[in-house]
């Protein structure tokens, strides 16, 4: 992680990295996030998967490659100082019979607000998946409707890029033809 450039951020990241609020996590607490004080794009996903947990690199898997493709971001930009990455659950929640478990509910209420306060330059927040959309938009609107557009221009909602959603992508071809180019264009304008 890039070294924090001010003491409050450094202290906060140290507190996050020492968090043990979920002592029963099957692989133990290991918060994985990227926060740079000058970031202009914020990505809020679900929770780290096993590979991300093991490597400590957010979105370091097939879903991440697909997300970077959608956003039109090379890895060096995605992991650079202009992009902050804060999942709904900062630690790998483990897996169940239907794949990875949902993010731990206590995590976002505990850490999101203080982390977001360290990001004064964010121009656009990408909410990836239903957990992030429901929490941050405080609504129960179906995900497909939110992906078509939100009422709040500060947010873009994307489906989770997991291969488990391939059937959704096949049923909604407008996502690739309309939404992806639009979000790429917005991000290119913001990040230059
Ligand atoms: S998931 Fe969040 S609240 Fe739970 S231990 Fe990890 S950082 Fe703490």
CA angle 58, 12, 15 (to 5 degrees): 85
Digit-by-digit pLDDT tens for the chain (192 residues) are 444 445 599 999 999 999 999 999 999 999 999 999 999 999 999 999 999 999 999 999 999 999 999 999 999 999 999 999 999 999 999 999 888 999 999 999 999 999 999 999 999 999 999 999 999 999 999 999 999 999 999 999 999 999 999 999 999 999 999 999 999 999 999 998
CA 2 – CA 120 distance, rounded (Å): 17
Contact 21 CB / ligand 1 (< 6 Å): yes
Roughly how many angstroms between the first and final C-alpha of the chain, as a whole number?
23
Q: Specify whether the CB–CB gap between 137 and 52 falls below 8 A.
A: no
Contact 45 CB / ligand 1 (< 6 Å): no
Nearest Cα residue to atom 2 of ligand 1: 107
- CATH architecture under which domain 7-191 falls: 3-Layer(aba) Sandwich (3.40)
Q: Specify whether the CB–CB gap between 46 and 87 falls below 8 A.
A: yes
Which residue pairs, CB below 8 angstroms and at least 24 apart, start in 136-145? 136/44, 144/168, 144/172
For residue 6, the model assigns a pLDDT of 55
Q: Which residues pair with 34 in a beta bridge?
A: 85
Contact 22 CB / ligand 1 (< 6 Å): yes
Q: Specify whether the CB–CB gap between 41 and 47 falls below 8 A.
A: no
| Ligand 1 geometric centre to CA of 29 (Å) | 6
Sorted by where each begins, the domain ranges of the chain are 7-191
Contact 34 CB / ligand 1 (< 6 Å): no
Give the ligand 1 atom nearest the CA of 106.
Answer: 3
The string of DSSP letters for 146-168 reads HHH--SSTTEEEE---SGGGHHH
| Ligand 1 geometric centre to CA of 115 (Å) | 13
Among 12, 17, 18, 19, which is best to mutate for testing ligand 1, by the most ligand atoms less than 8 A from CB?
Answer: 19
Contact 91 CB / ligand 1 (< 6 Å): yes
Both tokens of 36, joined, read 């740079």
For residue 192, the model assigns a pLDDT of 87
Contact 47 CB / ligand 1 (< 6 Å): no
CA 26 – CA 142 distance, rounded (Å): 31
CA 154 – CA 56 distance, rounded (Å): 28
pLDDT tens across 104-135, in order? 999 999 999 999 999 999 999 999 999 999 99
The string of DSSP letters for 23-60 reads TT-TT------B--TT--EEEE-S---HHHHHHT-TT-
Nearest Cα residue to atom 6 of ligand 1: 91
Return the closest-CA partner of residue 14 out of 31, 37, 39: 31
Nearest Cα residue to atom 4 of ligand 1: 22
């Amino acid at each position: 992680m890039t070294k924090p450039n001010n003491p409050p951020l450094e202290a906060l990241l140290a507190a996050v990295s020492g968090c043990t609020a979920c002592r029963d996590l099957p692989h133990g607490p290991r918060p994985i996030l990227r926060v740079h004080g000058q970031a202009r794009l914020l990505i809020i996903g679900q929770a780290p998967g096993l590979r991300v947990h093991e490597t400590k690199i957010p979105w370091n898997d097939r879903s991440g490659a697909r997300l970077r493709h959608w956003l039109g971001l090379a890895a060096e930009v995605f992991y650079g100082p202009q992009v902050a990455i804060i999942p709904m659950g900062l630690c790998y929640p483990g897996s169940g019979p239907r794949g990875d478990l949902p993010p731990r509910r206590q995590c976002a209420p505990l850490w999101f607000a203080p982390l977001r306060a360290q990001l004064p330059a964010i121009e656009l927040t990408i909410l990836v998946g239903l957990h992030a959309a429901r929490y941050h938009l405080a609504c129960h609107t179906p995900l497909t409707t939110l992906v078509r557009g939100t009422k709040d221009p500060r947010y873009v909602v994307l489906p989770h890029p997991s291969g488990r959603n391939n059937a959704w992508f096949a049923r909604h071809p407008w996502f690739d033809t309309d939404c992806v180019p639009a979000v790429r264009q917005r991000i290119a304008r913001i990040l230059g």
